Amino acid sequence: MHRLVKDQAVTIALDSELDRAVDAIECGFEGSQGIVGTLCVRRATSCAVERLTGGALGLLTFDHHGAPVALRGAAHASRDGAAVEFVVLDRVGARRHPLPTPRPETLTPRRLVHDPG
């Protein structure tokens, strides 16, 4: 949550059953206290907000310096559905990490010997 700034666009993608499409809720970041972030709902279906009144698991996704970030957690909407609290349960590796540098021995050409035996 420390990477987010006030009014930054975030999306909550709710976990769903196999036969349902993923519900996405577009929000703006309001602030955080530890692992709990407060969000204001900008765009969502009534079905998605209804799922949040009892709490739902999902991913909070956003961009940080051009890299995608996803946080797994639980979202819970206020009674009027205008605000959402998102509690981070664990981080998901959605960010892209650089590939390791190849070792020099892997770059050395080798002679292949064919054994017809």
**pLDDT tens-place string over residues 26-55:** 999 999 988 899 999 998 877 777 888 888
8-state DSSP, 104 = H
* CB contact at 8 A, 95 and 71: no
Q: Which residues pair with 74 in a beta bridge?
A: 57, 87
DSSP codes of every residue in 4-69: --TT-EEEEEE---TTSPPEEEEEEEEEEETTEEEEEEEE--HHHHHHHHT-EEEEEEEEETTEEE
What is the distance between the alpha carbons of residues 8 and 36, in angstroms, rounded to a whole number?
16
pTM: 0.69
Residue 17 CA from chain centroid, whole number: 18
**pLDDT (0 to 100) of residue 116:** 64
What is the distance between the alpha carbons of residues 39 and 83, in angstroms, rounded to a whole number?
6
Mean per-residue pLDDT, 9-22: 72
Mean per-residue pLDDT, 16-27: 69
Class of the domain covering 9-95: mainly beta
pLDDT-derived band at 6 (thresholds 50, 70, 90) equals very high
pLDDT-derived band at 115 (thresholds 50, 70, 90) equals low
Closest CA to 51 of 85, 83, 82, 16: 16
Per-residue pLDDT of 61-105, as tens digits, reads 999 888 898 899 999 988 777 889 999 987 554 444 444 555 555
Closest CA to 9 of 64, 79, 88: 64
